[in-house]
């Protein structure tokens, strides 16, 4: 598993399908034929990880949407990104 830091630029793995429902989402992973369920907070991180935006800025964008200070959620965003990378939902950006 790659080291995920606040400078990491991540994106949804190729071929994954996201199905949002109410306050959670199910992500179908093509490589393993598995599905991962995430809550609305993790979904916000997932949607904002576009492969071009470092995680530190992802946290700032989400915080701005929520009207709070980025420092309040930075560690939570990093933790969510690390876990989704471990689960095979997010991957380092392709160059």
What is d(CA 9, CA 19) in angstroms, rounded to the nearest whole number? Answer: 23
Whether this prediction's pTM lies above 0.75 is answered by yes
Domain boundaries, the chain: 9-90
Give the model confidence (pLDDT) of 34-78 as tens digits. Answer: 999 999 999 999 999 999 999 999 999 999 999 999 999 999 999
CATH topology of domain 9-90: Arc Repressor Mutant, subunit A (1.10.10)
Average pLDDT of the chain? 94
> Is the pLDDT score of 18 beyond 70?
yes
CA distances (Å), 24 to each of 13, 48, 69, 88, in order? 18, 15, 24, 18
The pLDDT assigned to 2 comes to 74
The pLDDT assigned to 22 comes to 87
How many C-beta atoms lie closer than 10 Å to residue 11's C-beta?
17
């Amino acid at each position: 598993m790659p080291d995920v830091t606040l400078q990491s630029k991540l994106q949804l793995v190729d071929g994954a399908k996201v199905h949002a429902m109410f306050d959670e989402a199910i992500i179908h992973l093509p490589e393993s034929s598995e599905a991962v369920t995430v809550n609305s907070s993790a979904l916000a991180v997932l949607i904002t990880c576009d492969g071009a935006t470092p995680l530190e800025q992802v946290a700032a964008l989400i915080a701005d949407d929520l009207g709070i200070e980025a420092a309040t959620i930075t560690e939570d965003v990093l933790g969510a990104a690390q876990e989704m990378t471990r689960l095979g939902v997010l991957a380092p950006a392709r160059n």
